[in-house]
Structure 1
Amino acid sequence: MSNIVEYNNAAISIIESVNLQQVQATMQKIAQFQALVQKTLKKDHDFGVIPGTGSKPTLLKPGAEKILMLMGLTSEYEVVEKVQDYDTGFFAFTVKCTILRQGLKITEGVGHANTREKRYTSGRQQDPYTLANTVLKMAKKRAQIDAVLTVASLSEIFTQDLEDMDFEQEKPRQEQPRPATQNGPATEAQLKKLYAMAKEMGVSDQAMKELLQQRYQVESSKQLTKQQASDLIEYLEQFRATQEQPA
């Protein structure tokens, strides 16, 4: 009984020490940021809705990237658990995503993926050995989205249910053949424009490096193709337009 009384007294003490005006101001800022995110992100690109479910929209990888850029945050990843059974062809990865601001840890998220998920076992037979890198990237993406939903207080707007996460993979993709001229390396003019845009928008070298790794699986802008460079320029232009919109 005494433990319950002590617990209640401690809870009351914490509440009494809270600056209610500061809490109210913080809640208002959270609401404003949530409204900005909803206005900025694009349906079927940054977030998706599962038809007929009536559930909250699902935050997708491009949307998570935009939110990190809006907040001036960077991310780091660590494989905390893995199973690599070469005899049975089963691979599983659990990844931790750490969100940082100027080198200081803000929050963490965890994501898991394995080769026995329905998306990898149904339909066309796929070689599990070639899927090892695919499921690692999926675990990384899930960890990132988990962390972003936490740091941005967006869990009441977006969800990340396992069924919902299939949305991004299962969207029909009709890839058009790219002209040969688009498959060559990015031009010097494209690279100069990317550098100028990043500098103008205040995108740090670390943030740009992460963006290149996550969107195109390259370490440097010099490794981009012409098509990828055009895509990144368009992406940054869209992001800059959202920054210039009046609040």
Structure 2
Amino acid sequence: MSMNMPAEYQEQRIEYVPKVEVTLEQAVDNLKKLDQIRRRIMRQGVDYDVIQGTPKPTLLKPGAERLLQFFGLGHRVQLIDKKEDWDNGFFYYQYKVTIVKQYPGYEITVAECEGSANSKEKRYRNQDVFTIVNTLQKMAIKRALVGATLQATGTSGMFTQDLEDIDLQGQQVSNQQNTYADASDTISQKQAKRMFAIAEGNEELVRGILDKYGYGHSADVKKIDYEKICSEIEKAKLEMFMGDPTDDKNNEAV
């Protein structure tokens, strides 16, 4: 027990039993609103991007800032550690981003995450490190911001943390191509299994989307169509969980 605690509480054991604080209807409604924000407002290539070989879109810095705005949250940035060796050309920065909810007279901390960047990273090795010091600082902050935002908004099921081949503006900096050189290549067995994993074993859902693309079997799927199919499977799974939005409109009209 903390020694700063009042004496009358020193001998008490306080146990916390986690419990759901929202109703099922509120949870479903929140998921619907999140999905609407992602599909109708957030922009691919600006707020998020889809990278080949990843199961979920990658959240970018503008998208993280937009999500915080939608949730009415603010954030604070704090430098945790830095190493600046101007003689040998090595620079390292570590920042912490704290997501806060402000109320009149006080605020609460919702989430925290730390991020770092250094001049030895692969993307910076062939650059003049003395000209990218500010870039390193911004990258460390961005990594912390995206991680903290995913925690605070509960959107890690929709987006993933930033990848090695995404820079501050969301542009790819690696030599990886967005499309495959040979469009006739078919996916691997591991990639086929991933489609069913996304659908959580719902074979009927996967088969329906494969039929839409003209494939009779998962092994026939071409790599050029793979990510689009995975995205549709994920979208269909989410819609099944939340229910058909047209049902709500029909109910309102009754």
Instruction: Please state which band the TM-score falls in when normalised by the shorter chain.
Output: 0.5 to 0.7
Report the TM-score, using the length of structure 2 for normalisation.
Answer: 0.55
Verify the 8 A CA contact 1:50 1:164 in the aligned structure 2. Answer: no
Verify the 8 A CA contact 1:94 1:110 in the aligned structure 2. Answer: yes
Distance 1:91 1:169, change over 3 A: farther
Give the whole-Å Cα distance in 2 for the aligned partners of 1:101 and 1:49. Answer: 30
Distance 1:21 1:69, change over 3 A: closer
Give the whole-Å Cα distance in 2 for the aligned partners of 1:59 and 1:88. Answer: 34
Q: What amino acid is the match of 1:14?
A: V
Aligned to 1:179: none
Distance 1:169 1:83, change over 3 A: farther
Structure 2 stretches lacking a partner, 5+ long: 1-13, 175-248, 250-254
Give the whole-Å Cα distance in 2 for the aligned partners of 1:117 and 1:21. Answer: 43
Instruction: Report the count of equivalent residues.
Output: 156
Q: Indicate the SS of the match to 1:84.
A: strand
Aligned to 2:170: 168
Structure 1 stretches lacking a partner, 5+ long: 1-9, 173-245
Verify the 8 A CA contact 1:48 1:59 in the aligned structure 2. Answer: yes
Distance 1:23 1:127, change over 3 A: same
- 2:116 aligned to 112, 134, 138, which one? 112
Give the whole-Å Cα distance in 2 for the aligned partners of 1:44 and 1:64. Answer: 13
- 1:14 aligned to 10, 13, 17, which one? 17
**Percentage of identical aligned residues:** 37
Aligned to 2:157: 156
Verify the 8 A CA contact 1:111 1:143 in the aligned structure 2. Answer: yes
Give the whole-Å Cα distance in 1 for the aligned partners of 2:100 and 2:23. Answer: 23
Q: Indicate the SS of the match to 1:78.
A: strand
Verify: 1:38 aligned to 2:13, yes or no. Answer: no
Q: What amino acid is the match of 1:113?
A: A
Report the TM-score, using the length of structure 1 for normalisation.
Answer: 0.56
Root mean square deviation, CA, Å: 2.7
Give the whole-Å Cα distance in 2 for the aligned partners of 1:60 and 1:21. Answer: 30
Higher-helix-fraction structure: 1
Aligned to 1:199: none
Q: Indicate the SS of the match to 1:22.
A: coil
Give the whole-Å Cα distance in 1 for the aligned partners of 2:163 and 2:21. Answer: 38
Q: What amino acid is the match of 2:146?
A: I
Q: What amino acid is the match of 1:156?
A: G
Give the whole-Å Cα distance in 1 for the aligned partners of 2:75 and 2:96. Answer: 10
